[in-house]
Structure 1
Amino acid sequence: MEKNTYGSFKLMIILSFLSYSFVGSDCATINIQYASALGDPGMKNDSLRVAIESWNQCNEVGEEAKNMGSPRMADCFDLDYSSLPVKINHKVDEVDNRLGVQNGTYGGINAGESADIYAAQKEIYLGNKCQVIDDPNPWQFWMIMLKNGNTDTLAAICPENGKKAKPFPPTGRFPCFGKGCMNMPSMHHKYTSIVDQEGLMSGSFYGTWDLDTDQEDDSVVGNNSYYKVKWEKKVGGNESWVFHHLLKTSSKYPWLMLYLRADASRGFSGGYHYDTRGMMKMVRSNPLFHF
C-alpha cells in the first residue's frame, strides 16, 4: 500500500511575546508579560537556522547510508546587508554536513566506530556552528526529524522495555522486507540561496530510503519512498518562513515519519537519550505546560 502525504504550512509561534492586563478587585491594573521560550518566535528571522536528523525504530542510526555521512545536516546562515545585493553567508558547509564515522575525530567528535554516538556528537558539532547567543540561553536550530519504522525482528536490534530483545518473526505491526530494512535514507541538500530578483530565499533537504534508486536531483522516482522539506521567505519581509513538506511511503517502507520540531537547546528532547540541540532556549517547568 502506498500513501502520499503533502503539506504546506506557515508555522506561527503565538508564544512569541504576549502581554495582557486585567483589573483586580481594588481596581488596580495588573500587567503580565511573557517572553518566548523559542529562539526565533514566529519564524520571522531572515537568518534561518534549520537542521535535519534521521532515526530508525530503535531511536538510533545503526548504520550510515553509503556516501551520505552521518544523518545530521544543517542549513544555517546570516545575511550580509553591507552591500547590495544582500549576500547569504553560510555557517555550515558540505564538509561539515558529510561528516561520518569514517572521519574519525575531525571536529573534536570522538565516537569510535559507533554510528549512533557519532550522530549525537555531530548534532552538537553542527549546533556549535549554528548557535545564536541569546538571553537567558543560546539556541541553535529548528529540527526536521525523519524516522523509518521498519523493524528487523529477526535481528532483535531494538531493546524491549530496556532489556535485550529476543528474535521473533515479522508481523504487520513490525514491517521488514529483510536484511537492511532499517536503513537510513539518502540526504541531499539545496543550500538556501536567493532565487529571484524580488529577494526570495529558498532551500531544501530531500532523499529516499530506497537507496538502490537514489538520485541527486529532487524528482520522485516511480513508487519509491521519498521526502522533501523546502523553505521560503522574502528578504526583509515581515512574513514567516514557509515550510513545504512532502513524505511518500512505498511497499518496502510503509511506516515513515516526518516532523518539524522545536527541540530543547540542551538536554534530552522527545524521548531520545542523547544531549540535543534545538530552538527552545527555555524549558517550561509549569506542570500545566505540555509539549
Structure 2
Amino acid sequence: MRKYLLVIFVGVNLLLGGVNGRFYKDAEREIDTNGMSAVGDPGMRRNGLRVAFEAWNFCNEVAHEAPDMGSPRAADCFDVSIMNGSDSTLLHKVSEADNKLGIGRTFKGLSTEAMHRPDLYAVEKELYLGSLCEVSDSSKPWQFWMVMLKNGNFDTKAGLCPENGKPKPPFTTTKNFPCFGEGCMNQPTLNHWPTHLLGDGTMRGWFNGTYDLDADIGKGLTNLSFYEVIWEKKLGSGSW
C-alpha cells in the first residue's frame, strides 16, 4: 500500500555560493489571512503549529547527507496544553533524535531497502515525521507546512543526476553555476531551535544553517550561503 503525505509548501529558497538568504515574519507587514485553504490550517492561525524542513540537491534528490546532520528532513510539531485553567505548555511531538535520523539508523516503518540509501531514506523519514505530526481534526488529515531548500550549485561534469531514473553521463553546459568542490551538491547544515513559549505569551522557533560545511555562522555571515526561517505567534491570537 502506498503512503502519502498531505503538506502545504510555504517557501522555496534557491541558494548559490556567496548569497545570504533569510525568511522571517515581518511584524509590520499587513498579511491577508482571510483567504481559503483547501486543506490544513487556513491563515496559519492554529496554536499547535506543524512545520517541517526538507532539502534537495539540483537533481531533486539527496545523494549524500551532510556530516553529522542526518537525512535532510526535520519537523517542529506541537500541541498546546492548558493546565490549572491558565498555565500553558507546549507538548512537542517530534524529538531532536527524530530530526537527526540518518542512513543506518532505524525508525518505525523503515524498509530494509531504504536503510543505507539516502534518497529512499529521506522519503521514508518524511513519512515517519508526518505520522508523528498528523492532525486528524477534520475529514482531511494533514501533516505540516513545509519549508523547502534546493541547492543550485551543480557540476554538470560530475554525472550525478539521473535521467528518467537511469544514470546519465557527464555533460557540458554554457550556464555559469559557481562550484566549490567535486559534485558541488552537498546538503546544508541544519540547526533547530524548537518552538518555545516565552514569558510574554509569544511562541517562537527557527531553522537555520549553511551549505558551507566548514563555516562557523556564529562568527559572521559574510560570503556564506546562509538561510534562516523563523516562526512566531501570540498564544491564542493572530497567525504565524
TM-score by length of 2: 0.82
Structure 1 residues 2 and 225, CA gap change in structure 2 (3 angstroms): closer
**Is residue 2:159 matched to residue 1:156?**
yes
**Is residue 2:150 matched to residue 1:147?**
yes
Unmatched 5+ stretches in structure 2: 1-16
Q: 1:135 deviation in Å?
A: 3.0
Unmatched 5+ stretches in structure 1: 17-35, 242-291
Higher relative contact order (CA 8 A, sep 6+): 2
Note the alpha carbon deviations across 1:196-225, whole angstroms, 9 max, x for none. Answer: x3201100000000001145x5x7433211
**Is residue 2:103 matched to residue 1:101?**
yes
Q: 1:155 deviation in Å?
A: 1.7
**Is residue 2:193 matched to residue 1:190?**
yes
For 2:57, the aligned partner's letter is N
Note the alpha carbon deviations across 1:262-289, whole angstroms, 9 max, x for none. Answer: xxxxxxxxxxxxxxxxxxxxxxxxxxxx
Q: 1:176 deviation in Å?
A: 2.5
Structure 1 residues 62 and 162, CA gap change in structure 2 (3 angstroms): closer
Matches within 5 A, 1:6-155: 6=22, 8-9=25-26, 12=32, 14-16=34-36, 36-83=37-84, 84-103=86-105, 105-110=106-111, 111-155=114-158
Structure 1 residues 205 and 220, CA gap change in structure 2 (3 angstroms): farther
Tell me the distance in 2 between the aligned counterparts of 1:109 and 1:71.
16
Structure 1 residues 95 and 12, CA gap change in structure 2 (3 angstroms): farther
Matches within 5 A, 1:197-276: 197-214=199-216, 220-237=220-237, 239-241=238-240
Conservation of the 8 A alpha-carbon contact between 1:153 and 1:174: no
**Structure number with bigger Rg:** 1
| Percent pairwise identity | 51
Q: 1:136 deviation in Å?
A: 2.4
Conservation of the 8 A alpha-carbon contact between 2:66 and 2:189: yes
Note the alpha carbon deviations across 1:162-181, whole angstroms, 9 max, x for none. Answer: 65322134643444233141
Aligned length: 217
For 1:54, the aligned partner's letter is A
Note the alpha carbon deviations across 1:104-131, whole angstroms, 9 max, x for none. Answer: x322212131100000100000000000
Tell me the distance in 2 between the aligned counterparts of 1:55 and 1:92.
21
Name the SS of the counterpart of 2:104 in structure 1.
helix
Tell me the distance in 1 between the aligned counterparts of 2:88 and 2:181.
50
Conservation of the 8 A alpha-carbon contact between 1:156 and 1:166: yes
RMSD: 2.2
TM-score by length of 1: 0.68
